[in-house]
Amino acid sequence: MYPVIKPLYEDLPPVEIAGRKLVGRVLFALLVLLSALVGAFSGLLLVYTTDLPQVEALESYRPSSITELYDDRGNVIGSFALQRRVVASYDDFAPVLRDALVSIEDKDFYRHSGINFWRIVGAAYRDIRSGGKVQGASTLTMQLARNLFLSPDRSFHRKVQETMLAIQIERRFTKPQIFTLYANQIFLGHGVYGFEAASEFYFSKPARKLTLPEAALLAGLPKGPGVYSPINHPDRAIKRRNLVINAMLEDGKITAAEADAARSAPLALHLQHDPNSLAPYFVEEIRRYLENKYGADQVHEGGLKVYTSLDVDLQSAANHAVLDGLAAYERRHGWKGNLENVIGEGFALDKYEDPDWADEPDVNGYVHALVTSSGIGIATIKFGRYGAALSQADVAWTQRKIPDLLRTGDICYVKILSLNPNGAARVSLEQDSGAEGALVAIDNATGEVKALVGGRDFNQSKFDRATQALRQVGSSFKPYVYTTAIDNGASPDDTILDEPITFETVSGPYSPHNYDEKFEGVITLRRALAQSRNIPALKLANKIGIHTVIDYAERFGITAKLPPYLPVALGAAEITLMEQTSAYSVFPDDGVRVIPRYITKVTDYEGRVLEEDYPEAKDVVSARTARIMTEMLREVVLHGTGIAAAKMSFPVAGKTGTTNDFTDAWFVGFSPSITCGVWIGFDEKKSLGAKETGARAALPIWMNFMKAAMAGKDPGQFEPAPVVPSTGIGQKLDTADTAAGADETH
């Protein structure tokens, strides 16, 4: 017999039996519900994470970074970037910056595994109480995941993905690696990404040198780069900075004394100058070359390092020389007015921003300013964060009263004489009537372009008058004529007859004359070039043959199409300033032309050399011819049209150039070490005004630049020219051959 097994509840009271059955059913229901929730949550995770990016890609991740341009001494002179970022390592970020960022953004960063559960619960509670999404709960790792892989929206779907990515990142990378990725990626306002670039932009120093107040200011920016911009909203920025300092104090990262000192510190921004602003036309020339060779994406995102030929000191001297020369020209021709008025164009005074104000101004620089008030005896102006007053004495050169000169809302042009940290400035009123200038300076030995000015204001016109503008060169073309003669056996002391002459042409008689409307009779070739006499140059070109002269000009590197007509000998040909300057370097280089170059080396992000450029030289004429021509061009300075430069303390040589109706003014010249060319004119080829010759308009700019360029340097000496006996070639030039005619050129 088997024993009888009693039912489980047989000995229990009926009420207790019913209760236990109910509990069992509830437990079963809860288990079923829990299983359903787990299944649903797993399903959601599957749905939301099936398209997650591969975190493994971070191991080879390289953010878009700046392509930087360096001068010949390793100083940054320009950059190209879609995102202004300088990639740095963990140790490049000062400990005080790391502490500040962790204290304000993620106190448990070094302890959690990607997410902070209690912070999420607290944020959710506060969101529920406030009835909206007001409290963030993202860790630095979650922010990194969002910035790298996800959209900025605050949906539940994105939050789940962010959480899962953060966990994966934490499993694969160390805390310093995660911090470094975050610190290089985050946007910090004004086009700046990452704390290294932000430190350089806001304080002009690397992140490893940040002080406590500076580090706290930057650490406060990720929450709202626009809202807490220290440039646009300094009061908000200070409050946010002090909140960061308080958080650091609470965390024990700093002492109370350090916190008090930091909170009371002024904002003390030291904004970085836009490096592109020193030599914008030079930088633009580099950009065009790089994009053509490497592509726009590589140039703007690839982090190239481009080592250029530019000398920042010479470039600064060139900028000042051109602008000061243009200002002198403007004052010679009096006040013209016709100022733009922003009120008339619908702008409010307090809303107007001029492109010139984007960069921090320099003393002795020129800027467009807004007239904020104008009355009897005084006008007030502003440019950027600076203000200044103009008295009647400051505008005396205009010979007009201030109310007749300036109206409220006018955009005037001023030279900055001094700047005060409190925003006060002292200026002089200048004028921008549209006259333009350009300058090129080339190292004779290497062909390296050391300075390049392509116009008065890059913000107003990107057109480069040094490399792109084809302008008639006037008498600065004559050295090619005389070089052709010397290279074919002529002597500087050969004579030629400077007298009235008529050339018979297919279009009729052509009777050129000299600039001064006089004739000197029998003169040497040396004097004819020094005094820039037109008749001797035409006779010489006609005898040698204009085709031969053009052939020599092409040897010098002139690529422009030169028509085979006799007036080309007087400069009736259009050539760029760059080519004309480079061609003149043949004379001090003993007849060798070194091809101009802007770049010495380009490396990629990893430091691999992509290209390395070396001087490329071509023989043009013999050393004998080059030295004779240098001596003759030296006569231009000592006794000819360039005599103003005779007082310079080092040896120079060169040639003036002036075109018909004074539309173009040139001076191209050289010392033993550097060749420089200057051009002045209007873009629309209108007259600069009576007597605005190369000697008057261009030569002073050339002299000012060369004085600065040679200061403190060994000037060197020109190689002596050989003694060349007269050949008597001049006696054969009394009868001219037929040539096509044109107006005279000086």
Could you please report the per-residue DSSP string of 564-598? S-GGGGGT-SEE-HHHHHHHHTTTTTTTEEEPPBS
User: From CA 703, how far away is CA 709, in angstroms rounded?
Assistant: 10
CA angle 608, 613, 618 (to 5 degrees): 165
Catalytic residue among 79, 103, 105, 582: 105
Give the list of residues 6+ apart from residue 145 with CB closer than 8 angstroms, or none: 161, 162, 165, 166, 169
**Cα angle 706-711-715, degrees, rounded to a multiple of 5:** 75
At residue 634, what is the residue type?
R
Query: What are the contacts of 182-187 at 24+ separation with CB within 8 A?
Result: 182/140, 182/141, 182/143, 182/144, 182/147, 183/88, 183/93, 183/101, 184/63, 184/85, 184/87, 184/88, 185/63, 185/144, 185/147, 185/148, 186/143, 186/147, 186/222, 187/147, 187/222, 187/225
Structure tokens at 274: 């836009």
Residue 617, helix vs strand vs coil: strand
Q: CA-to-CA distance for 695 and 451, rounded, in angstroms?
A: 21
How far is 601 from 65, CA to CA, in rounded Å?
19
Residue given tokens 């605050």 in the structure block: 154
Q: Give yes or no for a contact between 543 and 535, defined as CB atoms under 8 angstroms apart.
A: no
* Interatomic CA distance for residues 610 and 302, integer angstroms: 12
What's the distance, CA 151 to chain centroid?
Answer: 33
CB-based contacts of 470, cutoff 8 Å, min separation 6: 560, 574, 575, 576
CA separation for the pair 399, 490 (Å, rounded): 54
Task: List residues bridging with 453 in a β-sheet.
Answer: 439
Annotation marks residue 475 as catalytic: yes
Matching residue, tokens 């008639």 = 472
Burial label, 333 (beta-carbon count in 10 A; 0-12, 13-18, 19+): middle
Stretch (H or E) spanning 676: strand 674-682
Calculate Rg over the CA atoms of the chain: 37
Instruction: Pick the catalytic residue from 65, 138, 475, 491.
Output: 475
The answer to whether the beta carbons of residues 77 and 283 sit under 8 Å apart is: yes
Distant-in-sequence, close-in-space partners of 349: CB < 8 Å, separation ≥ 6: 342, 343, 370, 372, 408, 409
Which candidate, 186, 171, 167, 189, places its Cα nearest to that of 45?
167
Interstrand relation of 449-453 and 435-443 (parallel, antiparallel or unpaired): antiparallel
The tokens for 363 are: 């003393």
Cα–Cα distance for residue pair 391/279, rounded to 1 Å: 33
Return the amino acid letter for 223.
K
From the list 499, 481, 500, the residue with the least C-alpha distance to 632 is: 481
Structure tokens at 108: 């448990």
As beta bridge partners, residue 371 has 381
Q: Which helix H or strand E contains 158, and what residues bound it?
A: helix 156-172
CA distances from 602 to 286, 548, 664, 669 (A): 11, 40, 37, 31
Q: Give the whole-angstrom CA distance, residue 543 versus residue 535.
A: 12
- Decide if 583 contacts 593 (C-beta within 8 A): yes
List the alpha helices (DSSP H) in 640-698: none
- The label of the residue with tokens 């004004």 reads 190
CA–CA gap between residue 226 and residue 244 (Å, rounded): 17
Query: What is the set of active-site residues?
Result: 105, 475
